[in-house]
Amino acid sequence: MHPDLLQLSLGTTRGLRIADGWFAELAGHAGITVETVGVRVGATSRLRRAYPVTDLVEALAARRAIASALRRLEPRAVVFSTTTASLLADDLRLPYAVRLDSPARLNRPGLQNILLHALERRKLANAVLVLPSSGMAAASLPPEAAPVVVVPPPVFVHSGGQV
């Protein structure tokens, strides 16, 4: 199978997994075939104690996952589900987009995260699209980021009127 889109799902939280499923469904409704591949952190998970080490451990795991998935699936394009998932990915030689709820420069402040900020700026500048989930996230992107399309998550209203 050669999907139109390979979605690399960091999936470290329930919210990320739900958002990834929603995005794949949304793309499917648009006629785009999507293969979602999860990231397994493995034994290095024990190193995840604080930022920026947590992000770097997860980014290394994502790098392994994307390399393996690209060999197997041969997609036309890639969407990273978070900036962390994209940080250490090799040159894909494919168009890619980065989905995010907040850029690292906003939710990972401080000098200890300066490497993350530099890696994020590079990945967001080289993407074909950046897909933040809100206008606030879009406004916080580095100026050199690729073109932006805000893709907010869905809001579901149940029959009782509750969200």
Task: Tell me the CATH number at 26.
Answer: 3.40.50.2000
**Residues 44, 154: Cα–Cα separation, whole Å:** 34
pLDDT confidence of residue 51: 64
pLDDT tens-digit map of 73-102: 999 999 999 999 999 998 889 999 999 999
Residue 160 belongs to some domain of the structure: no
Residue 117 belongs to some domain of the structure: yes
pLDDT confidence of residue 91: 86
DSSP string covering 20-69: HHHHHHHHHHTT--EEEEE---GGGGGG-SSTTHHHHHHHHHHHHHHHHH
123 close to 96: Cβ distance less than 8 angstroms: no
pTM: 0.87
**Residues 106, 112: Cα–Cα separation, whole Å:** 13
Nearest to 140 by CA among 151, 154, 155, 130: 130
Which structural domain range is residue 107 located in?
Answer: 5-139
Residue 76 belongs to some domain of the structure: yes
Mean pLDDT across the chain: 89
Residue 150 belongs to some domain of the structure: no
Residue range 26-52: mean pLDDT, rounded: 79
DSSP string covering 146-163: PPB---PPP----TTS--
**Residues 66, 22: Cα–Cα separation, whole Å:** 20
Nearest to 120 by CA among 140, 107, 105, 131: 105
Residue 88 belongs to some domain of the structure: yes
Residue 151 belongs to some domain of the structure: no
Count structural domains, the chain: 1
pLDDT at 46 exceeding the cut of 60: no
pLDDT tens-digit map of 50-67: 666 788 888 999 999 999
Residue 82 belongs to some domain of the structure: yes
